[in-house]
Every structure is written in C-alpha cells, then in structure tokens.
Amino acid sequence: MTNLREAHAHLVAHGRAASMAQLAGARSASDVLERLRAAADSLPPGAWVLGTGARPESWPERGWPTLCELDSAVPDRPVLAWCFDYHAVLVNSPALRAVGIDGATPDPSGGLIVRDAAGRPTGELLETAALLAWSAVPEPAPAESLACLDRALADLAALGFVEVHDLKSQPWLGPMLAELDREGRLPLRVHLYPLVDDLPAVAAGRLAWESDRVRLAGGKVFTDGTLNSRTASMLHPFADPLPNHPRGTPMMTAAGIESAIGVCEGLGVGLAAHAIGDGAVRAVLDAVERVRPRACRVRVEHAEIVDRADVPRFARLGVACSVQPCHLLADVEALRRLLPHRLDRVLPLRELIDAGCEPGRLLLFGSDTPIVRPDPADSILAATARRRSGEPAEAAIAPEQAVSEAEAWACFGAG
C-alpha cells in the first residue's frame, strides 16, 4: 500500500537506533550481556556502549541482568541499554557514576531508581530516572543527527508513507527539516509535536521554517509510563506491580493536563497526550471534558488499555485515538502476566469504530518507531488477527475487538 500516514514516530531516534547494539532479538539476559560485550569490543576507548530493543518480559528470567553481571561483561566503560519501550534502561556501574547515582540518591520526580534489599541501585532506571541517565550520554554532532534523520525519512518513504507525525520533536527539528525540503531531500510531509514545555519557543520561531510540508501540529505530554515497565496508570492494580505502585505511576496531575491543553489552545495547535493505561486515558478525557477546548484538537497516544465506559467519550468529545496495534505483538508476555484480568480491554478497536471513531480521522494508526519497527503490516496483523503470526486462533487477545483489513488500512490514511 502507498499514500500512508505514520501517525506516531520518533524520526531522529529511529535513525540513531540503527547505530546501537540491537537487543530486540535477544532471547535471554545472558544473550543481552554477550551482545553488549561484543558492542564494547567494537568501540574506541571510553565510548558509551548503547543498546536498544531489549524485551525483558520475553526472557526466561523475566528481568534484566544483575548489575554485577553487567559490570563483569563490560567493566571499563559506561553502558546504557534501553528497554524497547524507551521508558526503562539498564546501566552499569561506570554509567551510574557518570550520572551521579548511588545508594543515597533520591528518586527523581516521576522516576524510580530500582534498588536491591540493601537499598543499592540495581542498574535499572525507570521513567525520569532513565532520562537522567540518557542525558549523560554525549549528544551526536549535528551532522550525525542529520544523517539519522535522512535514514529515518528514507526508511519510512520506502514503506509507502507520505506523511509522518513526529512525537516529542526536538526544538531544532523544524529548521533541519525545512533545510532538507529546500534542498529537495524531504520525501514526505512531517507534522511536529515538541514537548509542551518547549512549545512556546518553537512556536515563536515557526515562521522561519514552517511550510505545507513541515508544520507545527501541536505539543506533547506524558501522562503515564508503560506496561512493560509497570508504570502505566491503571484503574485496577497490576497482577505483579512495582512495590508501592499497585496501579502504576501517573506522570501528570489533572491540573497539569488542563494547563497543557490551555497552552496549546492559546497557540492554536493540538495536543498529543501519551496515555497507555486506562487510568491515564480517563484522566485525559476528563480534562478535555472540563476544559472543552475549541482550537486545540486533542489526541490520546497509545490508549493500549481503555475502560468500556470511556470508549464512547472519544467520538463524543472529538478526541482522536492514536494507537499502535503493532505493540500488541510486542507486549503479549507483559499483557498476559501483568493484566490477565484486563485483556478484554486491550486496544478496543472494534468498539471505538462502532462508537463513532472514524478510521483515519478519529482512529489513527502508527508504530512509535523505534519502539517497534514501522512496517504497517505489523499493525494490520495485530488489528485483524489480534495475535502474532503463526499463533493459533485461541492465542488471540480480545479477538472480539478485531477490525477488517479495509478498516485497518483506513486508519493509516490509505488511499
């Protein structure tokens, strides 16, 4: 198919991920250690070892290697390995020292430093603690960032996409894309969603770079975490929650969400709200219902778990549901272990369409690349079969929520 829209991507991160140790295919914690050790051997002295795509829930251990194991594998340079959801990392002792984290370091606001029974960091960092570690990694040079962007644009264009929405856009991305467009090197349209904190400054300079092919579409906020990290904000407790976080971790207050809508309303742009758990989804819908924005079109990003009572509120409030069905394929183990009592509420696509979310207008498909690959065939499979390729029909998650292939392609804006 061609003429497609990728409604949720991270362009520069997609291109940069190609240069990291690839952990998506790792089958165990020991496999991850071997891949990181091999990556370290290929780098110059002192360079950070970066990995991406780890899926601890799919390994026999259902967890990361220990800090001692990682230190043994790579003792002499900092290591940072992303969980595939980009909300959790594993770092070794040199990286902990580079970030300034030790046993006395308090958890940052909105984050968690996972500790052992003695209170010592295990190397696993969640949410803002993970971002704190990432901030210690040297930034790529502008030429490298441009190469990452070129790579991502080419990859998406090759898959038939003519438009991409970049969520959490860097403040410098608009000018860089505009330069590519002037040089005739921009193969698709790009809509930008920088963080709401950066939005006023980005909007102030938009006249210098905005065009029909590169435009500022809105701001972005994170209202919760993820399922694999057990930080998604849930209405009901996880079957195996983080200590002291039975229903995950809300990342924003109700007042904070309302304020973000107000900022976007004032600038006449939209708002994309990351909300994976049903508690976060409800919080965003509640905020829209209270504020009733006129100029700000709100999108809920991910909406992987949606309570039945909230399904009709999307169309009623005019809120777009921007989902990534392909995540179902990656999240199978986490869903079955952590939310066995809520599997019927996973990506209720059939209910959303039947309640008035028109495919391509109020129900949008994307991938969240580089979280998973951006091949639209993955989301078509997940949306129609509700299970991984080759699995029996009884393995489907919420099969009653399946949609037709035509409806699924329409959610990509196929024409």
Amino acid 414: pLDDT: 63
Residue 370: asked if its preceding bond is cis (omega within 30°), the reply is yes
Give pLDDT tens digits for 30-69: 999 999 999 999 999 889 999 999 999 999 988 899 999 9
* Distance (Å, whole) CA 156 – CA 154: 6
Is 265 a residue whose pLDDT tops 90?
Answer: yes
> What's the full length of the chain, in residues?
415
Name residues whose C-beta falls within 8 Å of residue 326's C-beta, 6 or more positions apart in sequence: 367, 372, 373, 375, 378, 379, 381, 382
Task: Decide: pTM greater than 0.75.
Answer: yes
**What is the predicted pLDDT for the residue at 387?**
98
Average pLDDT score over residue span 286-298: 97
- The beta strand positions in 217-286, using DSSP E, are 218-222, 270-275
Q: Which of 268, 322, 315, 258 is nearest to 294 (CA)?
A: 268
Q: Which helix (H) or strand (E) holds 49?
A: strand 49-54
What are the chain's domains? Answer: 4-13+145-411 (3.20.20.140), 15-134 (3.10.310.70)
